[in-house]
Structure 1
Amino acid sequence: MIAIYVRVSTEEQATKGYSIENQIEECIKKAGTSDVLKYIDEGFTGEIINRPNLTKLRDDVAKGTIDKIICYDPDRLSRKLMIQLLLDDEFSKKGVQLVFVRGEYTNDPEGKMFFSMRGAISEFEKSKIKERTSGGRRRKAKNGLVVKNSHLYGYNFDREKNTYVINEDEAKFVRMIFDYYTKGTFKGINGIANHLTEIGAPTKKRAKVWHRQVVRQMLMNEAYSGTYIQNRYDTEGDYVRKQAGEKVEYGRVKPQEEWIITEIPAIITKEQFEYAQLLLDQGRRRHANGSFHKYLLSGLVRCGRCGCTMTGRRTLSHGKDFFIYECRKNYAGAKTNGCGRQMSENKLNKIVWEHIIKIINNPEEVKDYKEQDEKTYIQDEMDHLEKEIEKIKKGRKRLFTLVSLSEDEDMDLEEIKDQIRELQQKEKDLQHKYNELSDEIKLQDKDANGTALEEAIDYYLINKANDFTYEQKQTLIRKVVREVVIVDSETVYIHIF
C-alpha cells in the first residue's frame, strides 16, 4: 500500500507551497493514484519526532502494511537532519521505498549524500528563520514598538502602530484597584477582588468573578505606570518542548541587561506603583518572619462530605487563639464555598502523628492497612457521591416540572434555565469524581509501594533521638501521607502512599 505523509506547522499555515491541500495534491499526483493512505500532522513542528500521525505511520510500517511512502519534501518529514536519517533507516530496514515530490531520492551512496545535504540545508534554513524572526522582534522593541499583544487589562492593542492605547472602560478599574490597595479601603487583595466581583467589574475574558491572584498580578505590573518590559522571559524552545509532551517551565527570567524597556501610556503614577510595591513587600516580609501560624498538615486535608480541600484558620476560643481546619473557601474566585465542616488542628495533628508512628513501628501491617482503610474510605465517598448525584437529578426534575406545568407569565425562565445548567454541570463534576474513585478501587489488588515507607523509617531512626521539630515532623508526614480525609469529628482516614 502507498502512504503519503504531509505536515505543516502552525507558523507555516499560510506559507505558499506548504499548505496541507497542496502537499496532498502533489503527493497523489506523484503516486499516480488516489488510492493512498493519508497521514497528516497539522500544526506540529518538524523539530520533534513524536507527532501523532508520523507515529501511526511508523507503526504501520512496522506491521508491514506500507510498501512506499511519498512525502512532499524532506523538511516535511523533519526539520532536523538526524530525525530524517533515523526515519529513512527505519523505513529502509522494512523494505519501504521513500519518495519525495521535490527532488528524486535514490537509495545509493549518491542519493543518501544528496538526502543528507537537503536535510542539513533545511535545518540551517530553520535556524536562520528563527534568528531573523527573533532579531526582527528585538529591533522593533528597541525602536519603541510593542512586539506582541499580551492582552493587557486596561489597554487595547493598536496593530497599525504596534503599541498599547488606554481602554478607559477598563482603565478606571485599574485605578480603583491601586487606590483601594494603597489607601487600605478593603481588607487586603482578597477584599478588593470580592468587591470587584460584587459590583460586576468586567474582566479581560468577561469572567463572572475576579480572582485574588489576578488582582495581585495587576498590582505587581509596572506597565500600568508606563514602563512596559519586553524580552524579559526566556521562551526559547518552549513551543517544541510543549509539542513533544515535555514539561515546560514558564517564567524563566533573562538577565536584566537583556530586558527592553518600552514606554506606553500610563494609567497610574510611578509614585503610586512604587508605594504599592512597598506595601506588597511588607506583606511578604511579615509572612516570611513567621507572624502567620504554620499548619502541620497544610495541603493534605480534604473534607469527606463534599470533597473540597480543608484549609487552616485562626479563630477565638475563650479569648485565646484557636486553630482549626475548615472546609470553607472565602477567597475571591473560589468555585465552591465548601460545606463548613471544622476540626481542631491539635486534635487532627495528634491523630495523624500517632498513626504515622504506629505504621513506622509496624511496617508489616502497612499493606493490610492500605487495602482495608483505603477501600473503606473510597467506598464511603462513592456512597456519598451517589446520594448527591441523585439529589441533583431530583432537583433538575422538579425544575423541569415547574417550567412545563406553570402558567405564570411572570416566571423568570432564564433564571430557571441557569439553575438547570448549574445543576447539570455539578452533576457532571460529581460523576467525574465518582468514576475516578471507581477506577481507583479497581486497582486495590496491586501491591503497596514500600519505597516511601522505607524512606520514612530511615528518616525516623536518624532523628528520633531528639525531639522532632515542626519541620522534621512535616517532612516525615509528607514522606508517608498522601491525603487526610475528615468524615466527622471521630472518623478520619489517613491515605498513605
Structure 2
Amino acid sequence: MKIALYVRVSTEEQESSLINQKEYIKSLYPDDEIIVYQDFGISGTKITGRDSFIQMMIDAGLKQHFITKKKFIFVADENKDPIFDKIVTKSVTRFARNTDILAIWKELEQKGVYVHFTDINKDTSSKTDSFVLNLSLTLGQEESANISERTKFGNMATAKANKIRNNSLYGYTFIRESNSLIIKEDEADVVRRMFELCIQGNGYVKISEILASEGIFNNDGQPFAMSTIKNMIHNKKYAGFNVRNQWQSKNLFSENHTNVRTKKENWIIQKNDRIEPIISEETWNLAHEQINKRLLHQNTGGTTEKRDTQGKLICNCCGKSFYICHSRKKGSAINSHPYYICATKKKEGKSVCDNDNIKLNKVDLFIDNLCKNYYKNIRLSNKARLVKLQYELKQAKTKSVVDINKQIDDIMANIVKIEEQLSKLIDNFLECSDVMKKVIDKKIKVLEASIEQNNNELLKLERTKNNINSDKLEIENKIKEIKNELKALDTAELTRDQLMDKVKFIKIDKGNKFIVEYC
C-alpha cells in the first residue's frame, strides 16, 4: 500500500518535533511505501501557505478551484488518479483546525482516499470514526477561538494599562524590566531630521534621497524606504505617546484570515512617561499639518480640493465612478498603498460588481504614458487611415463605366435565370403532394431571396457608375485633410493638465484594462 504521511509543526515548536512525528508514524507502517509531506511553522487555521499540504491534495487526485484571486477550495479532478491510497497524520489539529476541512474529506472520499489519525486511531473511511473526527475538529476550532479571545482580552487590558508593546522601534532601546523606551541618540537625530524635512514640505521619497545624500542610511546600510519613513512619521511614540489597538484579526478560521488596521477612533492613544520623546508634540502636529496639505497628484507639495481623476475614472462593469482608498493591510505604511475601487463594489460588495481594484500608481503611469504618446497615437491612427484611403482611391481609379456595365449585365442575366427557375417551381407547385409542396416552398423562398440580393447589388453598381468621379474626389479630399493634420500635429508631450482637459472618461475594465474616451 502507498501511504502519504503528513506532518506539521507550528511556529513555536522545534524541528525535533517534526522529526519525531515522521519517525513515529513510519514505525507504524514499516512494510508500506511512504511519501512524506511536511510543513514547518505554518498555522493549521488556514490552508493558504501550506505548500506541502496543497501538493498532497493534488497528488490525492484533487485540484484547486479558485473562487477569487487568492481564495480556493479543493474539488475532485476527474482527469487525475491519486498516487497513494491513504493519508496518515498524527492528529486532527495537525491536519487542520478549520471546519472547511470537512469538505476536503468528502472530495478525498470520491477519489477513494481516506485519512487516518494515529493519536485517536480514527479513520475517515468509518462512519462512526467520522462522527468522532467531526466532533474533534469542532472542539479544536473552539479551543483556538477561545485562545484567540483570551489573547484579544489580554491585549486590550495591557493597552488600557498603557503597556508598551513595540520592542524594536528605530531610535529607541526597549528596557523590558521597566517596560520603557530609552532614546538612542544617534538614531534619534535621524528621526528628528526626518520630521524636519517633512515640515519643510518634502515628500517621503525626497526625504529618503536627502538623507542618503547626507550619508544617512538605515541599519542595513541602505537608503530608508518610503514606507519606513511614512510609518516613522506617523508613529506618535516619537512624541511620547503609546498607541495601541491599531490592528485587528479578521476571519480567523478562514482562508481570508488577515490583520487589518482599525479605525482611528478605536485606537488607544495615551501619553506615557516611560517613553522618552524624541520630538515635541508640536513638531509632530506640524509635520502632520504638512502631510494633510499634500493631497495633489503624486504628493508634489501643492494643495487641491480634489484629484484631477475625480469623476473621470468609470467602472466599465457597472458604470459607477472609481474612488480612492488606502490599504489597511498589516505591515503596510499608513496611506502607502492607495488604490481605486468601484463605488458599487465598495458599497454593495463583489456580488453586485466584481470589477478589480487598481493601484493609484498604475493609473498615474497610464496617464503619464498617455501624455507622452498622445500625439504619437494620433499620428499612428491618421497614418493607418491614410493607408486605407489610398488603397480605396487606387481601387476607385481602376473602375470604369465599361467594367461596371459588364457587372450589371452579368447580374441581370443571373436574375433572369433565377426567375425562370422560380417560374417552373410555381407551375409544379399546384400539382404536387403536400410533402413536395413544402420542399418546393422552401426552394421558392431561397430563389426569391437570391433575386432580392442581386437587385440590391444592381442598385449599388448603378450608384457607383453615377458617382464614380465624385467618390474619387471625396477620397482625395479626405487624404488631403489627413496629410494636413499630420503636418500640423505638435510633436511635444502634453502636460497632465492638458491631457485631462481632453479626457472625458477613462473606463476601467476587469484585469485593469483601460478604455479612454476623449471630449
Using the size of structure 1 for normalisation, the TM-score is 0.54
Aligned-partner Cα distance in 1 for 2:127–2:135: 12
Partner Cα distance (1:255, 1:71) in 2: 44
Q: 1:187 to 1:2 in 2, by over 3 A?
A: closer
- Identify the residue that residue 6 of structure 1 maps to in structure 2: 7
Q: Aligned AA for 1:222?
A: K
Q: Which amino acid aligns with 1:13?
A: E
1:236 aligns to 2:250 (yes or no): yes
Shift of 1:154: 1.1
Match of 1:203 among 218, 225, 242: 218
- SS of the equivalent of 2:122 reads coil
CA distance in 2, matches of 1:483, 1:93: 40
Shift of 1:38: 0.6
Helix, strand or coil: the match of 2:169?
coil
Deviation sequence 1:174-216 (CA, Å, 0-9, x none): 223334554x4x9666654333212322324431x24556445
1:97-137 deviations in whole A, cap 9, x for unaligned? 43211102154443222111111111111111212222222
Aligned partner of 1:351 among 349, 371, 376: 376
User: One-letter code of the match for 1:268?
Assistant: I
| Compared CA separation, residues 213 and 99, structure 1 to 2 (3 A) | closer
Aligned pair partner of 2:169 in 143, 152, 157 = 152
CA contact (8 A) 1:146 1:262 kept: no
In the alignment, what sits opposite 1:270? 281
Aligned equivalents of 1:134 and 1:274: distance in 2? 31
The CA distance in 2 between the partners of 1:64 and 1:353, in whole Å, is 57
Which whole-Å deviations, capped at 9, do the CAs of 1:60-118 have from their partners, x for residues lacking one? 332243123211001111102331x2233333333334321110215444322211111
Which of 175, 178, 184 is equivalent to 2:192? Answer: 175
Q: Are 2:291 and 1:280 equivalent residues in the alignment? A: yes
Q: Is 1:141–1:230's contact at 8 Å kept on the other side of the alignment?
A: yes
Question: Measured at CA, do residues 258 and 34 of structure 1 come closer, stay the same or move farther in structure 2, by a change above 3 Å?
Answer: farther
1:86-485 pair list within 5 angstroms: 86-106=103-123, 107-149=125-167, 151-182=168-199, 184=200, 192-207=207-222, 209-211=223-225, 214-237=228-251, 252-254=261-263, 256-261=265-270, 263=272, 264-284=275-295, 287-289=302-304, 348-352=373-377, 470=500, 473=503, 475-476=505-506
Partner of 2:354: none
Contact 1:26 1:101 survives alignment (8 Å): no
Task: Give 1:278 deviation, angstroms.
Answer: 2.3
- In structure 1, runs of 5+ residues without a counterpart are 295-342, 365-467, 485-493
Q: Secondary structure at the match of 1:79?
A: coil
Say whether residues 1:31 and 2:61 are aligned partners.
Answer: no
Could you tell me which residue of structure 1 aligns to residue 53 of structure 2?
54
Aligned counterparts of 1:187 and 1:123: Cα–Cα separation in 2: 49
8 A contact 1:145–1:161 mirrored in 2: no
Distance 1:147 1:284 in 2: 32
Does the 8 A contact of 1:70 with 1:98 survive in 2?
Answer: yes
Rounded Cα–Cα distance in structure 2 between residues aligned with 1:217 and 1:53? 35
**For residues 231 and 129 of structure 1, what CA distance do their matches in structure 2 show?**
18
- AA of the residue aligned to 1:475: F
Answer yes or no: is the 8 Å Cα contact 1:233–1:254 preserved in 2.
no
Distance 1:477 1:355 in 2: 22
Q: Is the 8 A contact 1:70 1:100 kept in 2?
A: yes
* Rg larger for: 2
Equivalents in 2 of 1:188, 1:131: separation in Å? Answer: 40
Q: How many residues align?
A: 322
Contact 1:6-1:71 within 8 A present in 2 as well? yes
Q: Distance in 1 between matches of 2:82 and 2:207?
A: 64
**Does structure 1 conserve the Cα–Cα contact (< 8 Å) formed by 2:105 and 2:114?**
no
Letter of the structure 1 residue corresponding to residue 106 of structure 2: D
C-alpha separation in 1, matches of 2:369 and 2:264: 47
Say if 1:187 and 1:27 are closer, same or farther in 2 by CA, change over 3 A: closer
Deviation readout 1:457-476 (Å, 9 max, x if unpaired): xxxxxxxxxxx993671734
Identity %: 24
CA distance in 2, matches of 1:291, 1:56: 49
Gaps of 5+ in 2: 62-80, 310-367, 389-497
Residues 142, 260 of structure 1: 8 Å contact kept? no
Alpha-carbon offset, residue 277 of structure 1? 2.1
Matched residues in 2 for 1:55 and 1:278: separation?
Answer: 49
- The one-letter code of the counterpart of 2:108 is F
Change over 3 Å in CA distance of 1:31–1:91 after alignment to 2: farther
SS of 2:60's equivalent in the other structure is helix
Question: TM-score, normalized by length of structure 2?
Answer: 0.52
Q: Shift of residue 267 of structure 1?
A: 0.6
Task: State the alpha-carbon separation in 1 of the partners of residues 501 and 96 from structure 2.
Answer: 51
Q: Shift of residue 275 of structure 1? A: 2.1
Distance 1:477-1:237 versus aligned 2 partners, 3 A rule: closer
For residues 195 and 228 of structure 2, the distance between their equivalents in structure 1, rounded to whole angstroms, comes to 13
Deviation at 1:257, TM superposition (A): 3.2
CA deviation vs aligned residue, 1:315-341 (integer Å, no higher than 9, x gap): xxxxxxxxxxxxxxxxxxxxxxxxxxx
- Provide the rounded CA distance (Å) in 1 between the counterparts of 2:240 and 2:154: 23
Deviations 1:18-61 (A, max 9, x none): 93122212212332458421111223222234532223222333
CA distance in 2, matches of 1:196, 1:102: 58
Q: Deviations over 1:128-163 (max 9, x none)?
A: 1212222222222222222244x3221123344444
Contact 1:232–1:256 (Cα < 8 Å) also in 2: no
CA distance in structure 2 between the partners assigned to 1:159 and 1:148 by the alignment: 10
Structure 2 Cα separation of the partners of residues 251 and 90 of structure 1: 33
Q: Could you say which residue in structure 1 is the equivalent of 2:360?
A: none
1:43-82 equivalence runs, <5 A: 43-50=41-48, 51-62=50-61, 63-82=81-100
Q: Tell me, what secondary structure is at the counterpart of 2:247?
A: coil
